Structure 1
Amino acid sequence: MARREGLRRRERRVVRRRRLGRRIVGAAMTGATYGAAAVALVPLFAILGMLVVKGAGSLDLNFFIKASVPLGETGGGFAHAIVGTLIMVALAAAIGVPVGVGAGIYLAESGGAKAATIVRFVADTLNGIPSIVIGIFAWTWIVRPTGRFSAWAGGIALACILAPIVARTTEEMVRLVPNSLREAALALGYPRWRTSLQVVVRTALPGIVTGCLVALARVAGETAPLLFTALGSLYLSTDVNRAMAALPLQIYSYAVGPYDEWHRQAWAGALVLILLVLALGIVARLVTHRKAYG
């Protein structure tokens, strides 16, 4: 009896030690996870803090409704750059989103077809190409033949960046749709194309929209392609056949300029651009949250 009691006490001590060890390891891993998350957030908050400190003071109504002013004068704003960014991002979306969504649906629904393998390889290659190379490509095939810089060229260059991102995101979202939905639709007599469009795509639509918004946030901050295509402008213009300003271009131009007023407005423009990108990211998260809990 005494021996059994001793064995039981020993077993209880071993169990307590193991529980304590698991708790310590769990607490350490939880702390490491929170620490890693904090480290990841430090650059974001550091950038936002610097932009707010240096740029918020230059944000007023004139910044949003007025274009730039002649050299040496104070005041003016970024209205031309904001309008130009919205126009070129809209052009990129009009071109790149349909192409990307269509390609993504084809990649997800075509199985292991050779053509799908080629399309997937092209999309992955385009995702890895530096944006400045895409800008040079657009300059060679659009700007030089037409003899002018234009918002169209900038929109097409941005669409070349946008489309492969949307394609791969759409493919992943469509693949997440359960096969049981496809099989049920086919069993009801739906043709395959109708099943893909009315059942699969409708189910995956929130994820597809999220991917499109994330891709738009990515291209909204691109500078290099626009240097070779849209070039930039100091005037407010909505003519897509001519050179046009954009937030990244105007920020770069003012940041390297010699005037303090330009530097202040460059910080303010950078703050507006970051807020625009964050807004698109927040909308994307809301769409995802609605899909998960709505």
Structure 2
Amino acid sequence: MSTTLLPTNEPTREPESRSLLPETRPLPGWMPWALAVAAVGLSVLLLLALGSLNLPLAVVVSVPIFAALVGLASARLEGTRRAKDRIVTVVVYTCFALAILPLLSVLITTIQRGASHLTPYFLTHSQRGIGPRDEGGGIYHGIIGTFEQVGIAALIAVPIGLLVAVYLVEYGRGALARAVTFFVDVMTGVPSIVAGLFVYTAILLGFGTTPKGVWGGLALSILMLPVVVRSTEEMLKLVPNDLREASLALGVPKWKTIVSIVMPTAIGGIVTGVMLSVARVIGETAPLVLTVGATDSINFNAFDGPQASLPLIIYDQAFRSSPYAQDRAWATALTLILLVLILNLVARGIARWKAPKAR
């Protein structure tokens, strides 16, 4: 007697597959903070045992202890890959703190020492008739000189730098492009005193002329030029080639493609690079000592006679023993920092205004 096996509707059960990855759970949010406190406590105990306890050293010692504790806890709960990631994160944040702390220290000190002396009178008067040990005086003559000298440098360096960058990205091929790139790299590392010495020997001694603001602008343009070239070159390389090809496919000449498509697309980065070059030279002192001269009077004409500048005022006042001179030096330094900040904000606004917008 044969029996027939009827089909059933029950699904066939397959053997359960086990994950090859180890079971992990995320590190609780409170644990890194607890480990940070534990690292500080261990570093304090260690320094007490060594008899050399001080706050900066305790902070330095606690960082590797904290990284080790976080790595061990993460490896226990999350696995070795996540533990390595957390350790590298601690190292990155530590390096960032080490880089930003000196900047914050300089900025805070400058504000504390210079803010009280930064008054409208200080910004609208010169040092004419003010002795080194006298109270009063201002930096108006230095503000005028700095703006004119940096403006002359920008008028020289920015057009040349933009044209060189366009050549290297859009046209440069062969030995000439390699030579231009090599000399731009060399100029990037030229010390500022060398630029001032070059202008001093080639212009002042070579033509027998006297120190003027324009020669300081010429020396600063030598320092600005490689920064403008490099920053503009990198920004132009970021422009997609599809934009160039689409424009050329429509029959637009290459020069017009560069002017109408490539440059407007990269204008934000170009303006930022120009402002970086301005920030690079606005605080230079060595080239100006050799080429501009020194004066306590206001001189609006950069092509006639010595002209003051903010870096020269800082250099002159900082080495005087008078407390009034020290106050003027700190206030001038704070003014220079504020000028760089304002120029960068203006550049950001221009870059955002001129940047291409989606329609």
- Answer whether contact 1:214 1:284 (CA < 8 A) is retained: no
2:106 to 47, 60, 69: 47
- Secondary structure of the corresponding residue to residue 290 of structure 2: helix
Aligned match of 2:122: 63
Q: Which residue of 2 aligns with 1:252?
A: 315
Q: Take 1:155 and 1:111, find their aligned partners in 2: how far apart are those partners?
A: 29
Offset of residue 22 of structure 1: 3.5
- Match of residue 88, structure 2, among 13, 17, 29: 29
Using the alignment, how far apart are the partners of 1:287 and 1:33 within structure 2?
33
Amino acid in the other structure paired with 1:182: R
User: SS where residue 92 of structure 1 aligns?
Assistant: helix
Q: Partner of 1:204 in structure 2? A: 266
Cα gap change, 1:209 to 1:83, in 2 (>3 Å): same
Take 1:207 and 1:46, find their aligned partners in 2: how far apart are those partners?
29
| Higher share of residues assigned helix | 1
Report the Cα offset of residue 285 of structure 1.
5.4
C-alpha distance after superposition, 1:142-199 (max 9, x if no partner): 2221420001100111111111210111111111111111111111111121112221
1:175-233, CA deviations, whole angstroms, 9 ceiling, x for partnerless residues?
Answer: 11111111111111111211122211121111111100110111101111101111221
Q: Does 1:268 align with 2:331?
A: yes
Which stretch shifts more, 25-34 or 157-166? 25-34
Q: Does 1:95 align with 2:156?
A: yes
Distance 1:232 1:281 in 2: 28
- The answer to whether the 8 Å contact 1:162/1:216 transfers is yes
Matched, 1:165 2:227: yes
Report the more deviating stretch, 69-78 or 49-58.
Answer: 69-78
> Following the alignment from structure 2 to structure 1, what is the Cα–Cα distance between the partners of residues 319 and 332?
14
Inter-partner Cα distance in structure 1 for 2:102 and 2:345: 18
CA–CA distance in 2 between the matches of 1:111 and 1:122? Answer: 14
Q: Which one of the candidate residues 290, 293, 303 is aligned to 1:231?
A: 293
Percent sequence identity is 39
TM-score normalised by the chain length of structure 2: 0.74
> Equivalents in 2 of 1:133, 1:94: separation in Å?
21
- C-alpha change, 1:32 and 1:284, in structure 2 (3 Å) is farther
**What is the rounded CA distance, in whole Å, between the counterparts of 2:122 and 2:231 in structure 1?**
36
Instruction: Report the equivalent of 1:79.
Output: 140
The answer to whether the Cα contact below 8 Å between 1:143 and 1:150 also exists between their aligned partners in 2 is no
Q: How far apart, CA to CA, are the structure 2 residues paired with 1:206 and 1:53? A: 34
Structure 1 distance, partners of 2:187, 2:168, is: 16
- The answer (yes or no) to whether the contact 1:210–1:287 under 8 Å persists in 2 is no
Q: CA deviation at 1:109?
A: 0.7
Instruction: Identify the match of residue 343 of structure 2 among 276, 280, 283.
Output: 280
Q: Distance in 1 between matches of 2:332 and 2:277?
A: 21
Give the number of the structure whose alpha-carbon radius of gyration is greater: 2
What is the one-letter code of the residue matched to 1:125?
Answer: V
Query: Equivalents in 1 of 2:88, 2:181: separation in Å?
Result: 38
- Could you tell me which runs of 5 or more consecutive residues in structure 2 were left unpaired when the two chains were aligned: 1-14, 25-75
Report the alpha carbon displacement of residue 287 of structure 1 after superposing the two structures with TM.
6.2
User: Residue type of the partner of 2:306?
Assistant: A
Structure 1 counterpart of 2:243:
181
SS at match of 1:258: coil
Which structure would you say has the larger RCO, counting Cα contacts within 8 Å and 6 or more residues apart?
A: 1
Does 2:272 correspond to 1:213? no
Distance in 2 separating the partners of 1:212 and 1:201: 14
Task: Please list every run of 5 or more consecutive structure 1 residues that lacks an aligned counterpart in the other structure.
Answer: none
Q: Which residue of 1 aligns with 2:175?
A: 114
Contact 1:101 1:166 in 2 (8 A): yes
Moved more, 109-118 or 50-59: 109-118
Change (3 A) 1:42 1:292: farther
Q: CA RMSD in A?
A: 2.4
Question: Is residue 268–residue 352 contact of structure 2 (8 Å, CA) maintained in 1?
Answer: no
How many residues matched? 288
Name which of structure 1's ranges 240-249 and 22-31 shifts more when overlaid on structure 2.
22-31
* Partners of 1:257 and 1:263 within 8 A in 2: yes
User: Once structures 1 and 2 are overlaid, which stretch shifts more, 113-122 or 57-66?
Assistant: 113-122
Matched, 1:137 2:198: yes
Contact 2:264 2:356 in 1 (8 A): no
